[in-house]
């Protein structure tokens, strides 16, 4: 449901479904309008992103044109692709060909959790894998990781019903390595999209819709999918360790019993989470957590280094400043406090950015 305009309660509100520099295609009431931003808005430097809700005026139904007069507040914003107001991420992975990769899927799941976006798993190419292998994976994700798992195959259109249901009424970002059948699934849902799929030799073609600008595709009525270009860096070197820890939602059950309130469950004594590894907590899952934490530690160390460097700079300034008035020294002390504050804020911001602005979803994990 579109939100209401803050300033113009009666203005029609539509959603941007494609953006090309300053031209935006807005869907309103089942129709499409080519829109530019009102001059006043353009001057403020704001951008209308794909997925944004916008208030319109000057609707011209004959020429399919209108004008954007307001961009409504965003709920979430993904950085790559730059899309706003994504409701969920659909992580697609085959069971066989290519073989299911827990680490790749978990990286995407954790990314979604860091962004505060719901994730679901689509186990694709189910015609290729034995039923019990598919069920085992679905069971693990549904029961242990609280992630709905949908099984699908383009060879069997009946299997697509659950997928359509999950996508309807939502804006979904697709994620998953190349070759797992993302484009094929979208084509199966809406053949008019004619997205390019990998040829029989296995060579992966870039989707025909892969442009520098994001677009939302309506794969079924009221089911919108963000056409995501590929992404590569899915390492957690941009995430602070405590944020990563919180993204492992299942730890919540044991975390209160750790000896330290800020326990990261690595080598701390009396850690209740680590004690579960090999028991209720899948050992392989815990080991992946440790791998991801090693990446996050790089982020923490980088911040520490940056912070130390600027403190050193300030100390030198102090030395140079010897002989200056007390007033100047006092000011410098303040600056240093301000600099510490900036670093702290930056650390907090970096650990939270992913909620505010989202991060890269995507494919090409290999
Ligand atoms: P993408 O890179 O994730 O978009 O994957 P593609 O859609 O390009 O598909 C990769 C390959 O998998 C293509 O050769 C498809 O024909 C094949 N494929 C996709 N979906 C299925 C499926 O459900 N069953 C089988 N057997 N093959 C599939
Ligand atoms: Zn612990």
**Neighbour-count burial of 29, counting CB atoms closer than 10 A to its CB (0-12 exposed, 13-18 middle, 19+ buried):** exposed
pLDDT of residue 326: 39
- The token duo for 214 is 């994001």
Nearest CA to ligand 1 atom 27: 125
Q: Which DSSP symbol is given to 122?
A: E
Q: Which residues lie with the beta carbon below 6 Å from any ligand 1 atom?
A: 124-125, 127-128, 153-155, 178-184, 197-198, 204
Ligand with smallest separation from the Cα of 97: 1
31-37/149-151 β-pairing: unpaired
Number of helices and strands in the chain (H, E): 8, 13
Ligand 1 atom with the shortest distance to the CA of 198: 8
Ligand with smallest separation from the Cα of 229: 1
Containing 89, the helix (H) or strand (E) segment is strand 88-94
pLDDT of residue 284: 96
Q: Output the pTM of the full model.
A: 0.80
Q: Is 275 helix (H, G, I), strand (E, B) or coil?
A: helix
- The token duo for 56 is 């319109």
Nearest CA to ligand 1 atom 8: 197
CA 220 to CA 226: how far, in whole Å? 13
Nearest CA to ligand 1 atom 5: 181
Ligand 1 atom with the shortest distance to the CA of 156: 23
pLDDT of residue 362: 39
User: Ligand 1 centre from 17 Cα, in Å?
Assistant: 26
Ligand with smallest separation from the Cα of 270: 2
The tens place of each residue's pLDDT in the chain, 366 residues long, gives 777 777 777 899 999 999 887 899 999 999 999 999 999 999 998 899 999 999 999 999 999 999 999 999 999 888 767 889 999 999 999 999 999 999 999 999 998 898 889 999 999 999 999 999 999 999 999 999 999 999 999 999 999 999 999 999 999 999 888 899 999 999 999 999 888 887 544 444 444 444 456 789 999 999 999 866 444 457 999 999 999 999 999 999 999 999 999 999 999 999 999 999 999 999 999 999 999 999 999 999 999 998 887 766 555 555 544 544 333 333 344 455 555 555 555 554 444 444 333 344 433 333
Containing 124, the helix (H) or strand (E) segment is strand 118-124
Region at 243 (left for phi over 0; alpha for psi -120 to 50; beta for the rest): alpha
pLDDT of residue 8: 78
pLDDT of residue 178: 87
Which residue in the block uniquely carries the two structure tokens 């403190």?
Answer: 311
């Amino acid at each position: 449901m579109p939100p209401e305009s803050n300033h113009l309660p009666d203005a029609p509100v539509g959603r941007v479904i494609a953006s090309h520099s300053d031209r935006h295609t807005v869907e309103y009431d089942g129709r499409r309008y080519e829109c530019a931003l009102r001059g006043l808005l353009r001057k403020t430097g704001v951008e209308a992103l794909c997925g944004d809700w916008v208030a319109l005026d000057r609707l011209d139904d004959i020429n399919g044109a209108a004008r954007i007069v307001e961009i409504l507040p965003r709920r979430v914003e993904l950085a790559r692709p730059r899309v706003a107001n994504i409701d969920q991420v659909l992580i697609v992975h085959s069971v066989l060909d290519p073989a299911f990769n827990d680490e790749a899927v978990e990286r995407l799941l954790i990314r979604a959790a860091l962004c505060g976006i719901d994730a679901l798993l689509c186990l694709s190419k189910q015609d290729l894998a034995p039923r019990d292998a598919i069920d085992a994976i679905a069971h693990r994700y549904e029961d242990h990781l609280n992630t709905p798992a949908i099984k699908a195959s383009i060879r069997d259109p009946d299997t697509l019903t659950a997928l359509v249901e999950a996508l309807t009424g939502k804006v979904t970002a697709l994620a998953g390595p190349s070759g797992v059948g993302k484009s094929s699934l979208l084509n199966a849902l809406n053949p008019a999209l004619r997205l390019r799929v990998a040829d029989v030799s296995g060579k992966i073609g870039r989707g025909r819709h892969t442009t520098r600008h994001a677009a939302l595709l309506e794969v079924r009525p009221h089911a919108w999918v963000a056409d995501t270009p590929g992404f590569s860096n899915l390492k957690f070197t941009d995430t602070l360790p405590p944020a990563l820890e919180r993204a492992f939602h299942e730890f919540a059950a044991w975390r209160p019993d750790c000896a330290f309130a800020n326990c990261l469950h690595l080598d701390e004594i009396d850690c209740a989470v680590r004690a579960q590894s090999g028991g209720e907590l899948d050992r392989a899952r815990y080991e992946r957590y440790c791998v991801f934490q090693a990446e996050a530690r790089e982020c923490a160390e980088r911040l520490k280094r940056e912070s130390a460097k600027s403190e050193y700079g300030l100390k030198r300034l102090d030395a140079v400043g010897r002989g200056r008035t007390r007033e100047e020294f006092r000011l410098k002390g303040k600056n240093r406090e301000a600099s510490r504050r900036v670093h702290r804020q930056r650390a907090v911001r970096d650990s939270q950015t992913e909620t505010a602005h989202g991060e890269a979803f995507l494919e090409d994990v290999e």
